[in-house]
Amino acid sequence: MDCIFCKIIEGSIPSKKVLETDTVLAFHDIQPAAPVHILIIPKKHIATMNDVEREDLRLLGDIHHAAQQIAEQFGIKERGYRLINNCGPEGGQVVYHLHYHLLGGQKLGAIHH
């Protein structure tokens, strides 16, 4: 498999780890879009949000729990942060391994409805 995130999980590509559990890995984005920009990925390879199966739902909870822990670790829990998942080409997904961007540390523009 030629997945960059799988290689980061196995350790063949280095990363600046922030949090690691049995199911989730979080690390600094190499091209940050905010003062705090952390990528949160499942250790299980799932290509996109559309590929999440029923048995993966607990894993999504693990990712969201990791986001809460990271927000607290970086002192942005109370001020607020954004948690983003891009799905597919029109959704802006570049790496086809499910991942979330946790952004914070500055006021982020509102997404209008």
What is the domain partition of the chain in residue ranges? 4-104
| CA–CA distances in Å: residue 81 to residues 35, 78, 101, 107 | 11, 9, 10, 9
State pLDDT tens for residues 82-101. 999 999 999 999 999 999 99
Question: Which of 3, 8, 4, 47 minimizes the C-alpha distance to 24?
Answer: 8
Is 4-104 a CATH 2.60.120.10 domain?
Answer: no
pLDDT, tens digit, 9 for 90 and up, residues 19-32: 999 999 999 999 99
Q: Per 3-state DSSP, what percentage of the chain is helix, strand, and coil (rounded to 5)? A: 30, 20, 50
112 carries an active-site annotation: no
Which one from 37, 65, 99, 112 is the annotated catalytic residue?
A: 99
Question: Measured between alpha carbons, how far apart are the two ends of the chain, in Å?
Answer: 39
